[in-house]
A and B are shown apart, each in its own frame.
Chain A
């Protein structure tokens, strides 16, 4: 038997499973909410084509100013440099090195939350966009007219970002946590960052900075997905406000968007299931692959990879079955059209999964980030800000709070997803009764995802 270390190099403390009584309550509330959502909903779309209006001056002036843009870009570049420097020069102990926590927790989990509230703030801090824009500006000055871009093939849409997202999570929870002794090391993170930076800058050079930023640079695209829920957006360089959630309605018009949101849900599901419900089948597969004569590390990674892809496939299947069901309603558009027309309704589910799975990890790791990882980023005993000796206070949040946040996030995600799906159905089926009938299918889809989410966090997934 092959033993596998904890999925995350950083996790010291795992959450206790949701107890039976809370599980029952959560499931009950979800059911009640769902039935009333069907019965008492509105009859005219409320979120489609909601107009934007200019944001308040005190917000828009700083957000639009080039000084702020330059400064935030510079901060992004400096932080990228810090990740590389700490990764290469710092300690190999994953939990004592600035780079791992900063990339996988502070940025990866922090920006989705920031984006939902404030819009796509990552765009401003993206080091690659900043470098690309600086380069473009310089080239324009030195040799005007020489910067030319290849037109981005729109049929690829957000597919490169979806692939990038899966690759990133693969690096974190599969490559980084396999074999008897391999843990994701800061050096690997630094090397992967260099590789990704070169790739991104080349792609920006070929297709244009903003184009690649909105299609292929997966950090920006992934955070941008959550930002579509926000009431802030930037359009033609101006900050706008609009109705909350209304930005999601046209988010999925680009090809590959469904793949991105499905992958986002799938990777979190896999992370939650790999040491619970999927543990036995994964180990079985790994042993079969090992029997074929592959090294232990290879078979562990291969087995994990197979199940990661299967999990993403199952998430896609649940959604597509629901869409298939909707095509049976009278006057329904064809499957291919419906498929992308409801993709945006999964964004709240993706967010709910993220919050439910990583809330406690974020709270605990950020204590490390802002104490010893800030004062002693390389883990070499320095104490820049005098906080190097502080640690993580695991008593800061109790198990009950974690459970309530988890169940609360899932219920909120469920309701938001139903709201968006209902709204979209009203646009597709002007006949209210047909719209409601189509939503039995989406209700089934959302119930699947919410119960799956509850299951993953519960005693049953042990």
Chain B
């Protein structure tokens, strides 16, 4: 075999090896820290007991966690667009309070709730799939929350 062919073969082998390793070694879990296993347990428990309470990504407490509240002031999100991160399969729970009348729309999941002064929009739905989704005031098209559903 001439040296060029050898080198080509070696190059090919290295690439194949690298790709094979890539597929085999998919740590994934290590990056998400220990929160994953907790979540799974939490989900399992809530299914068995029929508890509709939200599952948590942090170490579980006996009490229900506080449901995050987002405020809209003068038609704009207070403090800019907020980030809400949950894991796939969790229940997504949050409340939007607004001083203007509008409709809060969760893209992708396509859930909407009317909102207005003294009439907060309450959400509670399952994060059935992953992705990054905009939550906006539908009529004025102002984004208020960026929802990220992690696998």
Q: Which residues of A contact B140 (CB under 8 A)?
A: 180-181
Question: Are A28 and B10 interface neighbours, CB within 8 A?
Answer: no
Q: Which residues of B contact A28 (CB under 8 A)?
A: 18
* B93 CB within 8 Å of chain A: no
Pick the interface stretch among B34-42, B45-53, B125-133. Answer: B125-133
Pick the interface stretch among A5-13, A73-81, A198-206, A320-328. Answer: A5-13
Q: Which residues of A contact B19 (CB under 8 A)?
A: 29
* B134 CB within 8 Å of chain A: yes
Cα of A394 to Cα of B26 in the assembled complex, Å? 23
* A400 CB within 8 Å of chain B: yes
As a 0/1 sequence over residues 83 to 118 of chain B, the CB contacts with chain A under 8 angstroms (1 = contact) are: 000000000000000000000000110100000000
Chain A, Cβ-Cβ closest to B8 = A40
Chain B, Cβ-Cβ closest to A33 = B15
CB contact list, A17-46 vs B, under 8 A: 19-22, 25, 28-29, 32-33, 36-37, 39-40
Minimum CB–CB distance from A5 to chain B (whole Å) comes to 5
Question: Are A394 and B10 interface neighbours, CB within 8 A?
Answer: no
A-B contacts at CB below 8 angstroms, number = 100
Main secondary structure of the interface of A (DSSP, over half): loop
Given A19-B28, A29-B18, A32-B14, A5 contacting B151 (CB threshold 8 A): no
Question: Are A3 and B129 interface neighbours, CB within 8 A?
Answer: no
Task: Tell me which of A20, A32, A39, A400 contacts B7 (CB under 8 A).
Answer: A39
Cα of A5 to Cα of B108 in the assembled complex, Å? 15
Cα of A11 to Cα of B143 in the assembled complex, Å? 13
Chain B, Cβ-Cβ closest to A400 = B151
Cα of A395 to Cα of B80 in the assembled complex, Å? 30
* B57 CB within 8 Å of chain A: no
Q: Which residues of A contact B107 (CB under 8 A)?
A: 6, 11-13
Minimum CB–CB distance from A27 to chain B (whole Å) comes to 11
Question: Are B136 and A16 interface neighbours, CB within 8 A?
Answer: no
Given A3-B142, A181-B141, A21 contacting B26 (CB threshold 8 A): yes
Cα of A19 to Cα of B131 in the assembled complex, Å? 13
Cα of A14 to Cα of B141 in the assembled complex, Å? 17
Cα of A15 to Cα of B149 in the assembled complex, Å? 10
Minimum CB–CB distance from B124 to chain A (whole Å) comes to 19
Question: Are A21 and B28 interface neighbours, CB within 8 A?
Answer: yes
Question: Are A5 and B136 interface neighbours, CB within 8 A?
Answer: yes
Chain A, Cβ-Cβ closest to B18 = A29
Chain B, Cβ-Cβ closest to A21 = B27
CB contact list, A180-194 vs B, under 8 A: 180-183
* A399 CB within 8 Å of chain B: yes
* A398 CB within 8 Å of chain B: yes
Cα of A180 to Cα of B75 in the assembled complex, Å? 10
Cα of A257 to Cα of B18 in the assembled complex, Å? 36
Chain A residues within 8 Å of B, Cβ to Cβ: 1, 3-6, 11-16, 19-22, 25, 28-29, 32-33, 36-37, 39-40, 180-183, 391, 394-395, 398-400
Chain B residues within 8 Å of A, Cβ to Cβ: 4, 7-8, 10-11, 14-15, 18-19, 21-22, 25-28, 30-31, 75-77, 80-81, 107-108, 110, 128-134, 136, 140-143, 148, 150-151
**Extra contacts besides A6-B143, A181-B141 (6): CB < 8 Å:** A3-B77, A5-B141, A14-B132, A25-B21, A40-B7, A395-B129
Closest 9 A-B residue pairs measured CB to CB?
A36-B11, A14-B132, A40-B7, A13-B131, A12-B107, A394-B129, A13-B108, A12-B108, A40-B8
Q: Can you name 14 A-B pairs with beta carbons within 8 Å? A: A4-B143, A11-B107, A12-B133, A12-B134, A20-B31, A25-B21, A36-B7, A36-B14, A40-B11, A180-B141, A181-B142, A394-B131, A399-B131, A400-B151
